[in-house]
Amino acid sequence: MKNAMSVDLEDWFCVSNFNDRIPREQWDRCELRVERSTTKLLDLLDAGNAKATFFVLGWIAERVPALVREIERRGHEIAIHGYHHLQITKISREEFANDLEKAIEAVRKTGIQQIPKGFRAPSFSITEQTQWAYDILEQKGFQYDSSVFPVKFHPDYGIPDAPLAPYRATRSVIEIPLSCISILGQRLPCCGGAYFRFAPYYYTKQAIRRCQAEGRPVIFYIHPWEFDPGQPRVQLPYSKRLRHYFGIAQTEKKFKRLLSDFQFTSIKEMLAV
């Protein structure tokens, strides 16, 4: 069974954990490291004979358009991650629509051949309160979204009773939820990011096998900055510092094992859209 690999294409300073430390108007002052970390990730995917969906942040696309073209040249899917990494839970419908349109235009101007069909909300911020975003995605012609975490424990995101498998969110938009397993009624993520860095690799491997045994391909996600242990260190509250930096030195090693043990393709190919 082929699983879906996804990459949130953003740099180390774009993450929501840094909102209070590095405001968006200061992003241009930060060292841009996304090209080298993404190239490393692309080389790992090539070596593992894997394809991925890259959810591209519009702000990044404007500054490194050649990188977006290189991602496409290597055979990966291009999708949209918003322009300014705005959490939908913290903005209005109008602000979301404007940010989305700006992101679409920024990615289009890179000169890629694809028309993006997929979207992922920054910080998985399609929740029970923000499902109105699907209507806007539908109006813009998107065919799928991958923003829902079907969990209840996280303070910032999650739809606890969302299906674990892909489902139809609207007439024309399919939701591709991030993968979890259910143990004794509790849903546990097994799909990448900080969960991948925190958990022993054995847990990830067994959880993916369990999803597959249930007939569900895994939807995995990662960020280029998770392959960049030399990135600048920012003073953060302990919990945020732990989530961002823990295990970064081991990401590459664990990721190689993942690509060796499982097959991965893009979300577009998995859905055949």
How far is the C-alpha of 101 from the C-alpha of 141, rounded, in Å?
11
How far is the C-alpha of 136 from the C-alpha of 143, rounded, in Å?
12
Query: What is the chain's alpha carbon radius of gyration, rounded to the nearest angstrom?
Result: 17
* Token pair listed for 254: 């664990």
What pTM, to 2 d.p., does this model score?
0.97
Only one residue has tokens 């430390």, namely: 21
DSSP the chain: -EEEEEEEE--TT-SGGGTTTS-GGGGGGS---HHHHHHHHHHHHHHTT---EEEE-HHHHHH-HHHHHHHHHTT-EEEE--SS---GGGS-HHHHHHHHHHHHHHHHTTT-S----EE--GGG---TT-TTHHHHHHHTT--EE------SS-SS---TTS-SS-EESSSS-EE-PPPEEEETTEEEE-SBHHHHHHS-HHHHHHHHHHHHHTT---EEEE-GGGG-TTSPP----HHHHHHHHTTGGGHHHHHHHHHHHSEEE-HHHHHT-
How far is the C-alpha of 209 from the C-alpha of 215, rounded, in Å?
10
pLDDT in tens, the chain (273 residues): 899 999 999 999 999 999 999 999 999 999 999 999 999 999 999 999 999 999 999 999 999 999 999 999 999 999 999 999 999 999 999 999 999 999 999 999 999 999 999 999 999 999 999 999 999 999 999 999 999 999 988 878 999 999 999 999 999 999 999 999 999 889 999 999 999 999 999 999 999 999 999 999 999 999 999 999 999 999 999 989 999 999 999 999 999 999 999 999 999 999 986
State how far the alpha carbon of 197 is from the alpha carbons of 39, 146, 248, 255, in Å: 20, 21, 7, 10
Find the CATH number of the domain harbouring 89: 3.20.20.370
Total of domains in the chain: 1
Domain span at 196: 2-271
